[in-house]
Every structure is written in structure tokens, then in C-alpha cells.
């Protein structure tokens, strides 16, 4: 099978998907805006051919350059696992008559308001919401929905440019901060725990799913620099309190007519047990959450995805052995990392449970914590017992510090 893969070298997880396609026997035709020499060695080794396009973001130019490059070669699948490229690869599918999600099917995965409209029509619980393209429309939406509200871009990923608003003065400030965003979604704030529902599907049926728990919920972590956010992939995805969320996720996939590949959904569980949809992308989660799945089950979900894409193979039985927690760290201070405190003690106490230490080294410039969940690095650990996993993750969050200056 010939698979066209848009942006095989970026973001950081993409090389693993590229490698996996080649590993299951696909000929991988990569299309990206990076020079070939800048692709990682394993990506170059996995590609059967590569086209460096002049731009990924002009669809007409992209299609013209891809057509000329492919010539008479047949393409069986066209894939992109990066949020900004979803619509572009859908247009390539339509123009080149390749199976997969059409543009119309892809739009609800990118447009949060269209997404909720489709789910509302399917009778699924979404937050009350309004699409707003002006300040006046935002004020009108608040009058209808009531405080507190969430204001966010309709096509955003993660919690970037997402704000919880409690009152009129705060809304006035937030609208000023979002002046660069042309269209926003104004929606009801759902007070509850936030989880993921991540799937690999084959012909509309999830054959593998993962549930991760955000500690605390991303909106809190995104607005408080002192927080060390955690994402915890749960070993027991069949817990009674998660059943309604799993059922919601499956119904969302049906309503959105998702076919084959990866999806990443976020949902809420309120204190009274009600589950509410958050949002969904036709892609895997970022911030190394796919790696969490591998460590939880001791398998290669990149290959499982590739098998689904290439041969329609289901994942089959999964041995869920561990809970896996990732603790993301943010340096104190500005500038370059001067020292790392507490790491030796943590490794001495919990080293047998740590599967990945990926902190910025001393001398590196700290990252902008508002722009990336990974922040200044992370420690990933696993343990079969949930309470122990949480306790160790909390100790790492408190005891590990990166100092910048």
C-alpha cells in the first residue's frame, strides 16, 4: 500500500507514525515543508520518497505540487496527524480520489461550534454554546448562557487562548486579549473532572481505547504557572464511573462518521455523575500521551495505528498492566536553567517506576510555559496500583524543581 503522509517529521510524535507505516510494509510518501536533510535519520530511512513543498498552507499550491510529484503513482491512503493539516489532507483525498474523511466530514473535527452542532442534533450532551465573531455577539451569548463561561477559538488545540470568565469586567479583559482571534466559541463552563477518550478505530469501530485523567484540568494548569500538570493514563478503563464516558465517546464517533485512524476526545464527569462532551480531534493526543499508552500496555500503538490504516487490522486483546503518569515541570525564574533540585532523591526513591526522564538540561533556555504542556520537560512513571501512581506523581511534582536565572 502507498500512503501519503503530510508532515512526517513534525510535530515530535510524527516520526514514530512514519516509522510504523514502513514497519508494517507501506511505501510512505512524505510531504512537508522541511528540507530533507532536516528530517531525522529514522524518518528518512522510513520514507520511500519525500516532497519538500513550498508551502503546506496554500491548498491550491500544495495540490499542484503534489500532483506533479506523484505523476502516475497510485496513492491508497492520505494521512495527517497534525491538527492544522487536517483540512488540507482531506482536500488532497478528494482531489486525488483517495479513501478517507472528506472535507465535510473533517470540518466538525476542526470547528468546535460545528462539532457541537452535529452532536446536539444527535442528542448528545454538550455545553451550551454560541459561535461569535464580534464583541457584541459575545456579550449576547453570555446573556443567554450565563456565567461562568469559557471563551476559546473555534479551531484551537489544547487550552491555548482558552479563558474561564466569571463576570463582566473579566469578560471585557478577555475580549481584548482575544482580539487576534477572528471567531470564538462562547460556552457553558462545566465543573467536573476532565478525562480523555483516545481511540484507534477501524471502519468506524474503536478497536483500542485509552482513558487519561488530567490532574488538574488543563484550564487550571494553563493559568497557574506554579502548577506541575499531570496526565495519568488509567490502567482500569472499565471502571464503573468511566462507563458513561466511554459510551459517550463511542456515540460521538458514530455521530461524526469517523472511519479509520486515531482520535483524541476530552470529556467531563460532573459530581452528580453526568458526563458532558468537551471536544475531539481526528488525531492522536500530543505531549507524549501516545507514549503513555505504550508504557501502560507494553505494546506499540504506533504500529497498531499503522496496521489499522494499511490493512484494517483491529488491535485485538490488550494487556493493560500499568497506570502511567507524566509530571510536567515548569522552571522557576526566567532565562536559562541554572540547576535541577531534587532529581537525585526522586530517582533514588522511585527509580524502579520511572520509565522516562526528559527534563531540559542545565544551560538550556526555559520554554514558554503558556505555549506547551511539555513545558521544561517531564518525568514519566508507571505503577500497577492507581493510588501509588498518584502518590509518586504528587511527590515528584512537589520535590522536583528546575531553577532558571
* Confidence class for position 158, pLDDT limits 50, 70, 90: low
- pLDDT of residue 39 exceeding 90, the answer is yes
Q: Do residue 12 and residue 49 come from a single domain?
A: yes
Say if CB 162 and CB 184 are below 8 A apart.
no
Q: Which of 81, 100, 119 is the last residue of a domain?
A: 100
User: Quick count: other Cβ atoms within 10 Å of Cβ 363?
Assistant: 8
Q: Contact at 8 Å (CB) between 44 and 36?
A: yes
pLDDT for the residue numbered 159:
65
Domain harbouring 355, CATH code:
3.90.1170
**Residue 356 burial (10 A CB sphere; 0-12, 13-18, 19+):** middle
CA distances from 234 to 226, 241, 322, 326 (A): 25, 12, 8, 12
What's residue 223's pLDDT?
Answer: 86
91 and 167 part of one domain: no
Query: Which residue segment(s) compose the domain that 16 sits in?
Result: 2-100
Does the structure show a pLDDT above 80 at 156? no
Band (311; pLDDT cuts 50, 70, 90): very high
Within a domain: 304: no
Question: CATH code at 6?
Answer: 3.40.50.20
Average confidence (pLDDT) over 352-365:
98
Q: Is residue 303 part of a domain?
A: no
Residue 64 lies in a domain: yes
As given in the structure block, the three cell numbers for residue 148 are 461562568
Q: Does residue 8 lie within any of the structural domains?
A: yes
Which of 161, 188, 215 is the endpoint of a domain?
A: 188
Q: Same structural domain for residues 134 and 55? A: no
The domain boundary residue, chosen from 144, 171, 188: 188
Which CATH number fits the domain that encloses residue 164? 3.30.1490.20
Q: Is 41 helix (H, G, I), strand (E, B) or coil?
A: helix
**Tens of pLDDT, residues 4-33:** 999 999 999 999 999 999 999 999 999 999
Q: Are residues 15 and 95 in the same domain?
A: yes
Same domain, 86 and 139: no
Percent of the chain scored above 70 by pLDDT?
Answer: 99
Do 46 and 40 touch, CB atoms closer than 8 A?
no
Query: Is 256 in a helix, a strand, or coil?
Result: coil
- Judge whether 239 lies within some domain: no
Could you tell me if residue 282 is inside a domain? no
- Domain-located, residue 339: yes
Segment 198-205 mean pLDDT: 96
Statement: residue 339 has pLDDT above 80: yes
Are 92 and 145 in a shared domain? Answer: no
For residue 1, which of 311, 303, 313 has the smallest C-alpha distance?
A: 311
Instruction: Give yes or no: residues 35 and 81 share one domain.
Output: yes
Query: Is residue 300 one of the residues assigned to a domain?
Result: no
Q: Count up the domains in the chain and report the number.
A: 3
User: How close are the terminal C-alpha atoms of the chain, in Å?
Assistant: 52
Amino acid at each position: 500500500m502507498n500512503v501519503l503522509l503530510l508532515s512526517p517529521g513534525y510535530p515530535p510524535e510524527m516520526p514514530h507514525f512514519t516509522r510504523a507505516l514502513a514497519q508494517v510494509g507501506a511505501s510512505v510518501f512524505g510531504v512537508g515543508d522541511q528540507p530533507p536533510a532536516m528530517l531525522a535519520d529514522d524518518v528518512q530511512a522510513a520514507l520511500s520518497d519525500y516532497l519538500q513543498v513550498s508551502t503546506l498552507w496554500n491548498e491550491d499550491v500544495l495540490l499542484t505540487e503534489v500532483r506533479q510529484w506523484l505523476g502516475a503513482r497510485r496513492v491508497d491512503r492520505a494521512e495527517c496527524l497534525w491538527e492544522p493539516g487536517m483540512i488540507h489532507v482531506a482536500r488532497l483525498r478528494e482531489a486525488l480520489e483517495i479513501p478517507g474523511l472528506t472535507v465535510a466530514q473533517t470540518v466538525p473535527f476542526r470547528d468546535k461550534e460545528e462539532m457541537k452542532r452535529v452532536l446536539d442534533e444527535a442528542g448528545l450532551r454538550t455545553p451550551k454554546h454560541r459561535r461569535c465573531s464580534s464583541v457584541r455577539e459575545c456579550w449576547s451569548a453570555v446573556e443567554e448562557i450565563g456565567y461562568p463561561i469559557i471563551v476559546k477559538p473555534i479551531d484551537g488545540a489544547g487550552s491555548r487562548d482558552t479563558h474561564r470568565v466569571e463576570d463582566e469586567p473579566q469578560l471585557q479583559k478577555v475580549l481584548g486579549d482575544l482580539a487576534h482571534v477572528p471567531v470564538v466559541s462562547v460556552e457553558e463552563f462545566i465543573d467536573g473532572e476532565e478525562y480523555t477518550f483516545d481511540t484507534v478505530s477501524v471502519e468506524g469501530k474503536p478497536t483500542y481505547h485509552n482513558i487519561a485523567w488530567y490532574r488538574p484540568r488543563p484550564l487550571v494548569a494553563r493559568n497557574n504557572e506554579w502548577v506541575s500538570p499531570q496526565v495519568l493514563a488509567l490502567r482500569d478503563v472499565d471502571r464503573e464511573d468511566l462507563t458513561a464516558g466511554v459510551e459517550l465517546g463511542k456515540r460521538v464517533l458514530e455521530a461524526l462518521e469517523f472511519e479509520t485512524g486515531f482520535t483524541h476526545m476530552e470529556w467531563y464527569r460532573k459530581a452528580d455523575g453526568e458526563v458532558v462532551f468537551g471536544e475531539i480531534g481526528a488525531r492522536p493526543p500530543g505531549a507524549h500521551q501516545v507514549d503513555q499508552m505504550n508504557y501502560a500496555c507494553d505494546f506499540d500503538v504506533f504500529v497498531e495505528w499503522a496496521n489499522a490504516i494499511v490493512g484494517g487490522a483491529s488491535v485485538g486483546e490488550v494487556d493493560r498492566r500499568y497506570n502511567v503518569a507524566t509530571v510536567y515541570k515548569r522552571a522557576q525564574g526566567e532565562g536559562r536553567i541554572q540547576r535541577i533540585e531534587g532529581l537525585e532523591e526522586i530517582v533514588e526513591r522511585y527509580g524502579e517506576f520511572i520509565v522516562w526522564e526528559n527534563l531540559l538540561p542545565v544551560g538550556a533556555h526555559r520554554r514558554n510555559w503558556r505555549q506547551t504542556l511539555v513545558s521544561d520537560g517531564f518525568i514519566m512513571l508507571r505503577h500497577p496500583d492507581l493510588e501509588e501512581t498518584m502518590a509518586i506523581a504528587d511527590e515528584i511534582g512537589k520535590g522536583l524543581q528546575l531553577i532558571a536565572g
